[in-house]
Amino acid sequence: MVWKLLRKNISPVQIAGYALANLIGLAIIIGAVKFYTDISSTWHDEDSFFKKDYLIISKQVSTLQTAGVNADATEFFPDEIESLKQQPWVKKVGSFSSANFNVNMSMEIGGRGMSTYLFFEAIPDEFLDIAPQDWAFDPEHPMIPIILSKDYLTLYNFGFATTRGMPQLSEAVMSTLPINMTLTGNGFSETYPARIVGFSSRLNTVAVPQQFLDWANERYSSGEALNPSRLVVEVSSVGDPAINKYFDKYGYEVAGDKNDNSQAAYFLTVITTIVLAVGAIITILAFFILMLSIYLLLQKNRQKLHDLMLLGYTPFGVARSYYVLIGVINLSVLVLAIVMALWASSWWAPRLNDIGIESSSPLTAILVGVAIILVITLINILSIRRIVHRNFFD
């Protein structure tokens, strides 16, 4: 009876306008969240284009340095490292430590011996992208563990081995080959066994444990420790334009195309944020459309509300009709918005799969939509309750 009495002044156009606006806004938000979870899941893949990776930086080499003038200009001094650490987009900074002695590697491959001069570098273990076993060095039982860049193995297999008639090697086979390292310096020349314990996609170097390098530099180096010439930087905001500005200002270079990839990820993040903001604005406007409609509706029914109060109806008994109306509308909007967002994701999912990005679970996006509609419904109910109480007792 209450509903039949109050619904006469309800404007279907206003309710439909709210439902449509809320549907569009919520569908945009759910779709944007689904798209973001799809692409962000690839940031944790080792070979992902959008991977949040560390940046390896060095200083630019000038012509004067090539001629031997101002050779230490490519080193990072403590004040420069400290300045870098203070940047808001920097989470951690690690230094590459270099071997200050001569290294010669010898090994046999397919019955043919080969040897070459080599170099060693070390970084703190927290910056390694792999966690190999036996990553330790004991001077009493010396075995040098090595992490090799995957690029070096690729160069050997497809640049050196194919032209020299040497066998191509997989990572598993390479890890089993016996290697000897001859370390020379400070009046010593000693040979130690070594083994490749892993291959890195992040580090373009021949990495050894920091413990070993410190021990070897103390034994085989007669000079002072050098400042690092390369740094590894973990950034908190991938692709932040401030990174390029800072590097350009101080003449720093980023190894490979990591910074370009990060900028692509940052660009996608910005676009997704803009889409989310548009959806949120539409949803907020739809909320105000509904509240204005309800307010005008209750104003039209003001006399009826007073009459119902005199007949013994409670504010809740009157407001319940509006609660049911809002609940049905918002639930319908939520279901349709989820359907629309999932339909949209079915359009872009095959295109992402074509570039190696697998679609993620829609659960996160759906939960975001449910949370938003619950908040909107709760605010609707509280607002209706306040308006009804005010009209009942004024």
Among 233, 262, 291, which residue terminates a domain?
262
Same-domain status, 242 and 274: no
Same-domain status, 61 and 86: yes
pLDDT digits (tens, 9 = 90+) for 22-36: 788 888 888 888 887
pLDDT at 270: 74
pLDDT at 254: 83
**Quick check: 223 pLDDT over 90?**
no
Distance CA 110, CA 131 (A): 29
Same-domain status, 128 and 157: yes
Same-domain status, 40 and 69: no
- Asked if the structure places residue 153 within a domain, the reply is yes
**Quick check: 339 pLDDT over 60?**
yes
Same-domain status, 138 and 277: no
- Asked if the structure places residue 50 within a domain, the reply is no
The first and second tokens of residue 66, run together, are 């090539």
List Cβ<8 Å contacts ≥24 apart for 340-347: 340/23, 340/27, 340/30, 340/31, 341/27, 341/30, 341/31, 341/34, 341/365, 341/369, 342/34, 344/27, 344/31, 344/34, 345/31, 345/34, 345/35, 345/38
The residue-averaged pLDDT of 89-95 equals 89
Report how far Cα 368 is from the mean position of its chain's Cα atoms. 20
Beta strand 188-200 pairing with 144-149: parallel
**Which range among 217-221, 318-322, 325-329 has the greatest average pLDDT?**
217-221
Same-domain status, 114 and 241: yes
Q: Out of 3-7, 36-40, 282-286, 374-378, which region has the weakest mean confidence (pLDDT)?
A: 3-7
Among 229, 262, 295, which residue terminates a domain?
262
Radius of gyration of the chain (CA): 33
Same-domain status, 69 and 38: no
Is the separation of the CB atoms in 192 and 181 below 8 Å?
yes
Same-domain status, 229 and 154: yes
How many CB atoms are closer than 10 A to CB 350? 9
Same-domain status, 222 and 321: no
Higher pLDDT, 191 or 319: 191
Report how far Cα 216 is from the mean position of its chain's Cα atoms. 37
Whether this prediction's pTM lies above 0.85 is answered by no
Same-domain status, 301 and 192: no
The residue-averaged pLDDT of 328-339 equals 89
**Quick check: 1 pLDDT over 60?**
no
* Band (347; pLDDT cuts 50, 70, 90): confident
Instruction: Specify the DSSP class assigned to residue 110.
Output: T
The residue-averaged pLDDT of 316-339 equals 82
**Quick check: 259 pLDDT over 70?**
no
pLDDT digits (tens, 9 = 90+) for 104-122: 999 877 677 788 888 899 9
**Quick check: 214 pLDDT over 50?**
yes
* Band (49; pLDDT cuts 50, 70, 90): very low
* Average pLDDT over all residues of the chain: 78
Same-domain status, 188 and 121: yes
pLDDT at 191: 92
Higher pLDDT, 116 or 275: 116
pLDDT digits (tens, 9 = 90+) for 162-199: 777 778 888 888 888 889 999 999 889 999 999 999 89
**Quick check: 274 pLDDT over 50?**
yes
Domain of 9 in residue numbering reads as 2-45+268-393
Same-domain status, 317 and 229: no
Among 247, 262, 277, which residue terminates a domain?
262
Number of domains into which the chain is organized: 2
Report how far Cα 352 is from the mean position of its chain's Cα atoms. 17
| Residue 102: its H or E element | strand 102-109
How far from each other are the two terminal CA atoms of the chain, in whole angstroms? 23
